[in-house]
């Protein structure tokens, strides 16, 4: 995928998709739309090619989410043990 310069087709927000020897130029409604389409197509190609990068990214994201949930559970557990004292101190002040 590559962004197509305005001068090439006299159109804005275009990008090129190269499939073998065939080149297809697509145009988004605006810059954001063009980038969204390019990202979506890149993601689809990655999945169709085996998706190793996407799978590794998702595994890392899930590991970080589980680590965060574990840390939050530990904090909530500590707060529930001391929760009444904290609430009383706050209400007194």
Question: Is 0.85 topped by the overall pTM?
Answer: no
Q: Are 15 and 1 in contact (CB under 8 A)?
A: yes
Q: Which of these ranges, 7-16, 31-40, 53-62, 76-85, has the smallest mean pLDDT?
A: 76-85
- Token duo for residue 14: 């275009």
Per-residue pLDDT, 82: 55
Output the pLDDT for position 81.
60
pLDDT per position as a tens digit, 49-93? 777 777 788 889 999 999 988 888 887 776 666 555 555 444 454
Q: pLDDT grade, residue 46 (50/70/90)? A: confident
Q: How many Cα atoms within 13 Å fall on the side-chain side of residue 10?
A: 0
């Amino acid at each position: 995928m590559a962004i197509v310069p305005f001068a090439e087709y006299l159109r804005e927000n275009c990008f090129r998709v190269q499939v073998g020897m065939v080149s297809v130029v697509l145009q988004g409604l605006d810059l954001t739309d063009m980038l969204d389409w390019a990202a979506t197509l890149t993601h689809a190609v990655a999945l169709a090619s085996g998706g190793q990068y996407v799978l590794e990214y998702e595994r890392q994201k899930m590991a970080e989410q589980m680590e965060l949930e574990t840390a939050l559970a530990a904090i909530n557990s500590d707060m529930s043990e001391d929760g009444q004292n904290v609430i009383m101190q706050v209400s007194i002040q």
